[in-house]
Amino acid sequence: MSVIVYIALGSNLDEPANHIQRACQELGALPQTRCLQYSRLYQSAPHGPTDQPDYINAVAELETRLPPNELISMLQALEKEHGRVRTAEQWGPRPLDLDILLYGDQQIDAPDLQIPHPYMAERAFVLYPLAELVADLNIPGYGLLSDLLQSCPADGLEPLNGL
């Protein structure tokens, strides 16, 4: 059975817009998966350490038959193909970051996977691109996307042309 999944994409190294655009194509090529749509690109200041370049972000909507644990493994493999090296540093610079925001209406709280993404409700660079795709979304454990947007200003989030 297919499920609708939302993936956050981010990059701030080595021509980040190119990483995001390639990753959108690669997401649609995953086994048992097709890309339905994706948001435009957004530029935002880094979250966490500020001594790094701005990020380019987007959100993709996928339809997949992959279970969540297989999907996250494939996303991490894509990150690695784009040159990401996982370190202990949280929120550091990276050529590609892929996070599962939502997997249908499931809630998962495992050590290596939390869905909905635990920080999505406080991140404009996730909420605003997500709202482009599905404005009336009800996010399990968080409520209506429209309500989350009201409490998360878009300060410093700049929509870009492209994608």
Residues classed as catalytic: 84, 94, 97, 99
CB 120 within 8 A of CB 59: no
Question: Residue 156 has what DSSP assignment?
Answer: T
Q: Which amino acid is at 45?
A: A
Encode burial over 44-53: b for 16+ CB neighbours within 10 A, e otherwise: bebeeeeeee
CB 43 within 8 A of CB 50: no
Q: What are phi and psi of 122, to 5 degrees?
A: -115, 10
